[in-house]
Structure 1
Amino acid sequence: MNQYLREMIELSKIDNAITEFEPKIEKANKEYEAVANRRIAITESIANLENRKNQIFQDIAGYEKSLAKLQQEEKEHQKKIQMAKNERELENLKLEKEQILTPQIENLNEAIAQLNKELEHIEEQLAKKEQELQEFQKEFGEYERDLVLKLEELKNQQKELSQERNQLVSQMDSKIFSFYQRIRRWAKETTAVPVRDQACYGCFMKLSNQVYLEVIKGEEIVTCPNCGRLVYLESHLEEE
């Protein structure tokens, strides 16, 4: 068989093998993403709940600090009431306590109570999400790890083929490689096809006796006159 033709056939097989990996990798990626996205959604929910929990702790601490300050002011105010010099001063001090200090203290206590109630709800949600994550890891953890390994294996195999392709291309005549690429652009996986029963197995049209004879000889690069694909006899590939 013509050496250039043999190289193009080999390159076509390698390109086809590389192309076959793409849908496999895409499928594995989608499977992994579907599982990973579920895990990520759970962990993000946990993280959001933890962040809100920490924020509540900070808010409560801030309110408690303000409350302690107001309670101290209330004690001092109560002393002023007890030391009031006259009825008018007493009424003013009591009014200030009722309209300013007491409502502020009540509001802070109410805010702290609401935050504690929200905190209880968050703790319940966290427990559920953590349980959900444990169940997910139990059910899908191993499957997710297997998908990662499968993806790595597919990518490594594709990489090995790409290296093999690069090595072959580096040894090819540049004009022959350009000729191959022109056909590959449109023929893709059927760039080089066998001839069976005197028919091109790319377009399935019968070859003329003259073209078929050239294919049998295998001395030249032969393309199908009907479709332009590279054609060859499979028996020639077994020859040294």
Structure 2
Amino acid sequence: MNKHLKELIELSKIDKAIDSYTPQLEAANKKVAKVEKKINAAQEELDTLNASIVENDAKVKTFEEQLTMLNEQLASNAKKSKDITTEKEMKALSLEEDIAKEKMTFANEEIERLQKINETTALLVEEAKAKVEALAAEAEAVNEVVSVEKAEIEKNKGELFVEREKLSRDLEQKVLAFYEKIRIWAGNTAVVPVKKQACYGCYMKLNDKTYSEVIKAEEICNCPHCGRILYIESVTEEA
């Protein structure tokens, strides 16, 4: 077999091995992303609950301020009642008092309602906090496992890159450039075997002349249909 063809086959195998780690890295990252998504959702739920409590507390404060004003109004009306001389003034003052008392009743009911809601929400906040803490612990454990996995992958990839660098230096640069040019569009199928007289890149059948040249392997042969570099895995079997 042609020396350069042997080198290209080996280089192609190394490139495939390097790229085979990409799905593993993606899978590891997905594990982390999955638990992070859960944490974000739980934290968002917790933030929403806390925001609800703050909002209700603000409403309670507003109603309490309103009660203070209404109490002051009733006290003022009580003083005014001593100076009333006509029935018309008495009715007007009485109407003001009735409206004020209705507002006070409504305010007290709203304060009670909002405080009850906040009591229930506070319990939900504790549950949400516990959930966030549990997920944070899960994330830490997942990160530890994934870090080990990724470190091992990077170590293996590093060893392959060293091997690839050495092989690339030994290759004739024109041959390497030719391979890299095909690899731009063909990826890890730049160098493919021929089986049953067909290119295993595009799966098109080769004519007898090309097939004969591939079997001889005296030169680097390209598929006439797709341009990939061809080789026979087992010359004896194919022959």
- Provide the TM-score with structure 2 as the length reference: 0.70
- Which residue matches 2:116? 117
> For each residue in 1:58-112, what CA deviation from the matched residue of structure 2 results, as whole angstroms up to 9, or x when unmatched?
222222122212211221112212x13324133321222113x112222221221
Q: State whether residues 200 and 231 of structure 1, in contact with CA within 8 Å, keep that contact through their aligned partners in structure 2.
A: no
- Which residue matches 2:25? 25
Q: State whether residues 223 and 231 of structure 1, in contact with CA within 8 Å, keep that contact through their aligned partners in structure 2.
A: no
Q: How does 1:1-240 map to 2 (within 5 A)?
A: 4-5=4-5, 7-81=7-81, 83-88=82-87, 89-99=89-99, 101-137=100-136, 140-150=138-148, 152-153=150-151, 156=154, 160=158, 175-184=174-183, 188-192=187-191, 202=200, 211-215=214-218, 220-223=219-222, 228-231=228-231
Q: State whether residues 213 and 221 of structure 2, in contact with CA within 8 Å, keep that contact through their aligned partners in structure 1.
A: no
- Cα displacement (A) at 1:20: 0.8
Say how many residue pairs are matched.
226
Read off the aligned partner of 2:83 and give its amino acid letter.
A
Read off the aligned partner of 1:64 and give its amino acid letter.
E
- Cα displacement (A) at 1:222: 4.6
- Cα displacement (A) at 1:5: 3.8
The percent of aligned pairs where both chains have the same amino acid is 27
> For each residue in 1:159-207, what CA deviation from the matched residue of structure 2 results, as whole angstroms up to 9, or x when unmatched?
74796568976886664344214543565434335799xx999579999
Structure 1 portions without partners, runs of 5+: 235-240
Q: State whether residues 12 and 189 of structure 1, in contact with CA within 8 Å, keep that contact through their aligned partners in structure 2.
A: yes
Q: State whether residues 18 and 161 of structure 1, in contact with CA within 8 Å, keep that contact through their aligned partners in structure 2.
A: no
Q: Partners of 1:120 and 1:14 in 2: how far apart?
A: 63
- Cα displacement (A) at 1:18: 3.0
Q: State whether residues 194 and 230 of structure 2, in contact with CA within 8 Å, keep that contact through their aligned partners in structure 1.
A: no
Read off the aligned partner of 1:153 and give its amino acid letter.
A
Provide the secondary structure at the position in 2 that maps to 1:86. Answer: coil
Q: Partners of 2:169 and 2:76 in 1: how far apart?
A: 92
Q: Partners of 2:66 and 2:136 in 1: how far apart?
A: 44
Q: State whether residues 36 and 144 of structure 1, in contact with CA within 8 Å, keep that contact through their aligned partners in structure 2.
A: no
Question: Bigger CA drift: 44-53 or 25-34?
Answer: 25-34
Structure 2 portions without partners, runs of 5+: 235-239
- Cα displacement (A) at 1:123: 0.9
> For each residue in 1:203-233, what CA deviation from the matched residue of structure 2 results, as whole angstroms up to 9, or x when unmatched?
7999967654445xxxx43557898534378
The 1:168–1:78 alpha-carbon spacing in structure 2 relative to 1, beyond 3 Å, is farther
Q: State whether residues 215 and 232 of structure 2, in contact with CA within 8 Å, keep that contact through their aligned partners in structure 1.
A: no
Read off the aligned partner of 1:97 and give its amino acid letter.
E
Q: State whether residues 14 and 161 of structure 1, in contact with CA within 8 Å, keep that contact through their aligned partners in structure 2.
A: no
The 1:23–1:137 alpha-carbon spacing in structure 2 relative to 1, beyond 3 Å, is same
- Cα displacement (A) at 1:49: 0.6
Read off the aligned partner of 1:125 and give its amino acid letter.
L
